[in-house]
Amino acid sequence: MAFVTASMFSSYTAVPTVAHRLDCVTLRRRFQKTATTRPRVAAGVPSVLSGHLQHSTSRKQAYVECVDRGGSEGPAAVGDVEQVSFDRRSALLGIASTPAWWTATTLPAGARNVTTIPTWTLDGGVEFPILALNTVGLTMEDAERAVRLAQEAGITHVDFHPDRERDGVAKFIASSGREGLFLNTKIRKAPPGISPTEAAEATRRQIDEDLGILGVDSVDMLMLRDSADCDVIQAQWAALEAALAAGKTRSIGVINFCEFSLSCVLQSAVVKPAINYFMLHVGMGPDAHGLRSFGESRGVRTFAYGAVGEPGPSDELLSSPVLRRIGAAHKRSAEEVALRWVLQNGAAVSVRPTTAFGLGVSTCTEGPTCSLGLQARAQSFEWSLTSEEMAELNSISSPDGNPTLFSSTGCPGSWGSLGEEGKAALLGNK
């Protein structure tokens, strides 16, 4: 495949981040007196926990089953009916080979662990963590909670929109500070018919507004949405370059830029986009229909969303016999295989905290589901797929998708060009 992987022009750097050790989770169970009782864990607890529970001594033992999002049952493991404690690394992802660039220090029980998320070194020496929290669709309260839980899991890169998601991030910063966070936000899409001058001014106003609401002097990355008008793209990009020069951001990138949009911005750019943020998942091919090779050959790295599908999780992916078979070989879920495939193909990834999401909607509510989901995602670097498994996953051609699905009508097959019938069909085939 003739596309440039991230590792060909960047180095992974291990940056220490603080990750919370999940000491114990109290799981209330209904049980019978027989040793063969198999009570059901609350829905949402990943099935990957099965077989990795470390149980405390109790007079009342029973089989505990972990149940995934769809309610399917995994293998049973002996556990304590009243309380089950488990180590985050082994319970969520099992014991697997660790990449040479990944290190972790395990401290005594009850302490906090120092773990690492790999980074890319961007121009200017900016360290870009290659796993991010995708806050899109979260309420302000859920966004604040997600940032806290992500940071505890070791995920410090926060990807957010300039609306309620931003307000949730701001609320977290106000109470806990921004130290250690990589703040990555987006410029609102320019409305059709706006002039380049007006679009640039709106961009400048938004940057200042967002910084004020966040209570910070700068963010770590600003990402520009595309437009069907090349002049608008170039005017907005110049505004981002000015923000970079003024120290209001440390790096700049683009979102859902197809080949047309990338060609446009590169014509006038003084500073190239550091990344292009678009959809990539199993079934689309590792080159995303040529968009990766087009951008990466021009020095624009791939930052992916939708590892399990968009605008909602793909049932075809999550129930795929191939992904499930490969996952079973590693004691992982299909979801974890899908995420690992994107990472192992050299892209950075922004992940939803759970698979309970849809168009404009996502969740990170109270309870274990969000925390466990983020813990599992953070540990994606502790294991790897074999070359044979990667080749098999690379060859899958369904479910396919348009990498710049949410781009403007200037890009073929974009969300804006689908029409109501096309959108409804896509939403009904998740």
Judge if 46 and 15 occupy the same domain: no
367 half-sphere exposure, CB direction, 13 A CA radius: 13
Residue 29 is predicted with a pLDDT of 28
Judge if 15 and 28 occupy the same domain: no
pLDDT tens digits, one per residue of 294-312? 999 999 999 999 999 999 9
Beta bridge partners of 127: 121
Q: What is the pTM of this model?
A: 0.73
pLDDT tens digits, one per residue of 117-172? 999 999 999 999 999 999 999 999 999 999 999 999 999 999 999 999 999 999 99
| Domain contains 140 | yes
Taking each helix axis as running N to C, give the angle between helix 196-214 and helix 230-245, from 0 to 180 degrees, rounded to the nearest 10: 40
Judge if 76 and 115 occupy the same domain: no
| Domain contains 102 | no
CA distance 56 to 236: 58
Judge if 400 and 305 occupy the same domain: yes
Judge if 242 and 295 occupy the same domain: yes
The residue segments making up the domain with residue 73 are: 24-86
Residue 378 is predicted with a pLDDT of 96
Which residue, 56, 86, 116, sits at the end of a domain?
A: 86
| Domain contains 99 | no
Write the CA distances from 139 to 145, 171, 308, 361, integer angstroms.
10, 12, 21, 8
Judge if 66 and 191 occupy the same domain: no
Judge if 293 and 189 occupy the same domain: yes
| Domain contains 221 | yes
Judge if 40 and 114 occupy the same domain: no
| Domain contains 413 | yes
> Which CATH number does the domain housing residue 182 bear?
3.20.20.100
Low-confidence ranges of the chain (pLDDT < 70): 1-115, 409-410, 412-418, 423, 425-430
Q: In 24-178, which ranges are E strands?
A: 54-55, 61-64, 77-80, 84-85, 113-121, 127-129, 131-134, 157-160
Judge if 73 and 211 occupy the same domain: no
If you search the block for the tokens 């966070």, which residue do you land on? 181
From the CB of residue 33, how many other CB atoms can be counted at a distance below 10 Å? 7
| Domain contains 167 | yes
Q: What domain count does the chain have? A: 2
State the distance between the two ends of the chain, measured CA to CA, in whole angstroms: 28
Judge if 33 and 113 occupy the same domain: no
| Domain contains 51 | yes
Please name which of 429, 338, 421 lies closest in space to residue 377, comparing C-alpha atoms: 338
